[in-house]
Amino acid sequence: MGRYVIRRLLQMIPVFIGSTFLIFVMVYALGDPVAALFGDRAPDPATAARIRAELYLDQPLWKQYLHYMGQIFRGDFGTAFNGQPVLELMSTAFPVTLRLTLVAVVIEVIIGIVLGVVSGLRRGRSVDTGLLFLTLIVISVPTFVTGYLLQFLFGVKWGLVRPSVSTDATFEELLLPGVVLALVSLAYVTRLTRTSIAENVRGDYVRTAIAKGLPRRRVIVRHLLRNSLIPVVTFIGTDIGALMGGAIVTERIFNIHGVGFQLYQGILRNNSPTVVGFVTILVIVFLLANLIVDLLYAVLDPRIRYA
């Protein structure tokens, strides 16, 4: 197990370098950001040259990349154009988005799995058909539609919650955005769980467990669910990374100053330190989430062992 983890961690290094390089090239390809700093006015060349030199933008791409990676390994993620260190931006943005993701994942796991189990155990009956239909609707409606709709209904019309999230972004405030963010994934979790349960409920080990006279609850939770969760866990694992990055839409709607907001600003302003820095962290989160998923397999199914 330990060796497996170390091997996986080592494998992350080339993935990390490759992906940061790709992002760097892509942001670089967007073009020179300095011109836009001057608004509708053409930059005065002397000032623009100074700013380029300060931001290391007057060097060829490979030098910029090496310089950037050198900085990162020293724990410095560079400076955004408004003079704020990217590390400072991250320290305010990531906790917020992490909280939002956590809310979304909790909602998605609890509600999604419960609905999936209910639906899977009653396959073909009206509950199952109803849930399938509902999830289909949720999957097909874009996030910004549900976002604006729920925001208007809960925030403006009924006044139950604040339509926008304050800078503190407490769990309480993130509840509604969390639901919006979780909805689509929740539908997938429900469907995955349902299919998996419906398949395994006819498995030999379930029949054995029932024959042994175990209580129904124990059969479902310990035997049936545990085995059925492998595809669901895979999905949720990759979904954490996707949720963090994909929060752009939700964060804009609910005025959440998280990763999505910073990334959006960074891209609009061609601000490579911000974009590359944030995406780098997202890459790491993604890699770690995948590792945890792989390790969870062994926990869920004792037949899977890592040397």
Under the rule (CB under 8 A), what is the footprint of another protein?
A: 30-33, 35-47, 49-51, 54, 81-84, 88-89, 92, 103, 106-107, 148, 151-152, 155-156, 159-164, 166-168, 170-172, 175, 251-257, 261-262, 264-265, 267-270
CB of 72 to another protein, least distance (A): 21
> In terms of CB distance, is 187 or 259 closer to another protein?
259
Q: Report the residue number, 90 or 224, with the smaller CB distance to another protein.
A: 90
Name the minimum Å distance from CB 103 to another protein. Answer: 7
Least distance from C-beta 236 to another protein, angstroms? 17
**What is the distance between the alpha carbons of residues 129 and 138, in angstroms, rounded to a whole number?**
14
Residue 143 beta carbon to another protein: minimum distance, rounded to whole angstroms: 14
SS3 track for 175-233: HHHHHHHHHHHHHHHHHHHHHHHHHHCCCHHHHHHHHCCCCHHHHHHHHHHHHHHHHHH
Closer to another protein at the Cβ: 86 or 198? Answer: 86
Q: Min. distance of Cβ 31 from another protein in angstroms?
A: 5
Residue 13 or 268 having the CB closest to another protein: 268
Amino acid present at 84: Q
Tell how far CA 243 is from the center of its chain: 2
Return the number of other C-beta atoms located less than 10 Å from residue 175's C-beta.
Answer: 15
Quickly list DSSP for 259-274: HHHHHHHHHHTT-HHH
